[in-house]
Structure 1
Amino acid sequence: MSQKVDVSIAFYGKPYQAIVTIKTLMQYSGQHIDKIYLSRERLQPHDDYVGIFKIIDYFRNDPSVKLVVQYPHYFLGLGVRDHERAKVDTRFRQSIMYQYPLEVSDKKYLVVMHNDMLFYGDMIGDMLKEFEKGPKNLVGVGSIGQCWSCPAGPDWGNKCNSKMFEQYVPTTEEAIALAEAHATPRRDIQLKVIRNGRTHILPECRLNEYCAMIDLEKYRKETLPHGDIGCYGGGWNGVDTATVWSHDMFKRGYTFRHLTLEDYTRHAAFDTTGSGTKANSSSETYWNAERNAEKYINEKFGQIQFSSAVTISYYYDLFKRKSWLGLIHTYGFVKKLIGK
């Protein structure tokens, strides 16, 4: 029997795309999967708060999909910087993307991923094979690096790529000169990271969270709250999610193995922009992608039929959210009166 892993999906809207993610993931890698943790962010884009209940309802009669839904206490986004609070405040720390299952899963490995993937190959199976091959200090397998935005990447200085990030080791001076020579999209923050002491692996280099497998024993040993490295899903003043974690784990003596993402899956397959990011701010992009994903589900897996539980759960959730906001506003008003 194949070794079972758990999966962590950060849910920030896109319910139909998330359904496609889970359906196609199970289609190709279901034999390796036990639980799927779905962390529904406290804030949802474009007021799409009903989405999580569509997913729960869609898989309610599918025994192969074991959903565990987490509702983080805070909405932290990508800008997590408070290292000390993350160490001691469990609710805060477990509101960081992916952190809850990274702490509570009982498996040896956890796979983190986006909720807008379209799988067509068994990536998890090949990730497990990479861990079997080693080396012993291997902590993560997946797509390595954001080479498209790195001054050393093939499109810029052409000194490095996803498979040779260990071999290309510039000095701080060389890394600064390289960054200054190329107008990459995030040059200013890359230079800031390098000047603050994180040169190699380079600032854009990371274990990408589109789909990545992490060794939980090694992760927990080195990462908050038991270790001192900031959580995988935090920003920690780096250029993106997981860049600082990846750098600090590498400097601690661990390494990563690259698998080409596009050999197994496509990110933002239903988004005409191809990135998935613009949908966070563009309502038109968001809903167009959702309609495309809904059409795909109906054509590939049969017509969607939601039960009345979706509506009931949504309105109960709406009542709780409005009540909580009302309580906050009332508290603020009373505090002002007392102050006067």
Structure 2
Amino acid sequence: MKKTQKSVDVCINVYGKPWQTLCTLKSLIKHSGYHIDKIYLIKERIQPYHANIDFIFKYFHNLIIFTPVRHDFWSEETDLIDEKQRHTIRYQYGIEKSDKKYIFLTHNDVLYTGDVLSEMLSKAEGMIGVGHIGQCWNCPASHVGVCSGERFYEWQPTYDEVTSLPLPFSRTTKDLIDTKFPKPLPECRLNEWACLLNREMLIKEQDYQDRNSIFGLANKIDIGCSWFKSMTIKGYQFFHYNQQFDHGYWAKNSGHATLLDKALYLASEKVAKKYFYAHFSTASRWIKFLTG
């Protein structure tokens, strides 16, 4: 393993998918572990399908496990002044408790296929965040080919240009377009399933009187959209990076769809369990060693 200063903490919210969580963290550590100090594992108070999360804890030496006072996925009515309520917001506990310049956020269903942290850190200078920009598959600007994550900064439209797009489109409606700041559009965000944040910049801008300054809060569209827009308006920059990971690898269907479909959920967990024993268990390592 390469020797370097452990400059990054990791934060992961765990709502179900224990075997996928295990493979997510093991694959991240396999490729980028020499950057990682602490892993803030936020165990949601309620788990789907009576999932047992606790058995995975024994596989790691650097976990800081935190369970919020309530399961509040969207955190719409959270009192930001109250620390216990604030820490029900996704990732917020890790963001506040970390002492690192950078914190890496990951969903618990991501397969890391390369050294994503080295890659992201190499792009991080002067950026508040590095990761996949935009939920472009839901955005009319991407649909007509004028914008994408890679070209986010190339297209700076007027309000009239944005409202001339085919609307409504998916979750984007005309009433959600900001007349003064038409871009970022409603679906623009730094996708939180695998992103590196400059925590020092983020903490500096946090204001408990301003909900838009809190990364993990959701608006009518999704988590992080209001924060991304607020930081962009303030002049902070983001770097688009979408390599070295596969979101939703074991289900071939990421996000809520897997959680809402019990059959798919159980099948994806079975696949992840098999993957873990094939790639990360002690037995598999010995087999690889003995067979060369």
Using the size of structure 1 for normalisation, the TM-score is 0.78
Structure 2 CA distance for aligned equivalents of residues 296 and 224 of structure 1: 42
Q: Which runs of 5+ in 1 are unaligned?
A: 305-340
Task: Map 1:104-253 to 2 at 5 A.
Answer: 104-131=97-124, 134=125, 136=126, 138-153=127-142, 156-180=143-167, 184-188=169-173, 191-195=174-178, 199-225=182-208, 229-235=212-218, 237-253=219-235
Q: Aligned pair in 2 of structure 1 residues 268, 172: CA closer, same or farther (>3 Å)?
A: same
Pair 1:255 & 2:237 matched: yes
Question: Is the CA contact 1:221–1:227 (under 8 Å) kept in the aligned structure 2?
Answer: no
Q: Aligned pair in 2 of structure 1 residues 234, 215: CA closer, same or farther (>3 Å)?
A: same
Q: Which has the larger radius of gyration?
A: 1
Q: Which has the higher helix share?
A: 1
Q: Structure 1 vs Structure 2: percent identity of aligned residues?
A: 34
Q: Which runs of 5+ in 2 are unaligned?
A: 284-292
Question: Is the CA contact 2:215–2:224 (under 8 Å) kept in the aligned structure 1?
Answer: yes
Structure 1 CA distance for aligned equivalents of residues 23 and 151 of structure 2: 33
Helix, strand or coil: the match of 2:164?
helix
Structure 2 CA distance for aligned equivalents of residues 27 and 294 of structure 1: 17
Pair 1:68 & 2:64 matched: yes
Across the aligned residues of Structure 1 and Structure 2, the Cα RMSD in angstroms comes to 2.0
Task: Pick which of 203-212 and 168-177 moved more.
Answer: 168-177
**Deviation at residue 276 of structure 1 after TM alignment:** 3.4
Structure 2 CA distance for aligned equivalents of residues 102 and 117 of structure 1: 20
Counterpart of 1:103? 96
Helix, strand or coil: the match of 1:287?
helix
The AA in structure 2 aligned to 1:103 is: E
Question: Is the CA contact 2:11–2:105 (under 8 Å) kept in the aligned structure 1?
Answer: yes
Q: Aligned pair in 2 of structure 1 residues 224, 55: CA closer, same or farther (>3 Å)?
A: farther
Structure 2 CA distance for aligned equivalents of residues 227 and 123 of structure 1: 32
Helix, strand or coil: the match of 1:37?
strand
Helix, strand or coil: the match of 1:7?
strand
Counterpart of 1:328? none
The AA in structure 1 aligned to 2:112 is: F
Question: Is the CA contact 2:31–2:112 (under 8 Å) kept in the aligned structure 1?
Answer: yes
Counterpart of 1:298? 277
**Deviation at residue 275 of structure 1 after TM alignment:** 2.2
**Deviation at residue 302 of structure 1 after TM alignment:** 2.8
Residues 158-201 of structure 1: per-residue CA shift (max 9 Å, x gap): 00111221221222222122141xx632134xx33215765211
Counterpart of 2:76? 81
The AA in structure 2 aligned to 1:264 is: Q
Counterpart of 2:286? none
The AA in structure 1 aligned to 2:279 is: K
Using the size of structure 2 for normalisation, the TM-score is 0.90
**Deviation at residue 76 of structure 1 after TM alignment:** 1.4
Helix, strand or coil: the match of 1:199?
coil
Structure 1 CA distance for aligned equivalents of residues 207 and 71 of structure 2: 19
Question: Is the CA contact 1:193–1:238 (under 8 Å) kept in the aligned structure 2?
Answer: no
Structure 2 CA distance for aligned equivalents of residues 96 and 247 of structure 1: 18
Counterpart of 2:287? none
Residues 72-120 of structure 1: per-residue CA shift (max 9 Å, x gap): 1122112x3347x22x111111110000111110101000110001111
The AA in structure 1 aligned to 2:227 is: W
**Deviation at residue 2 of structure 1 after TM alignment:** 3.8
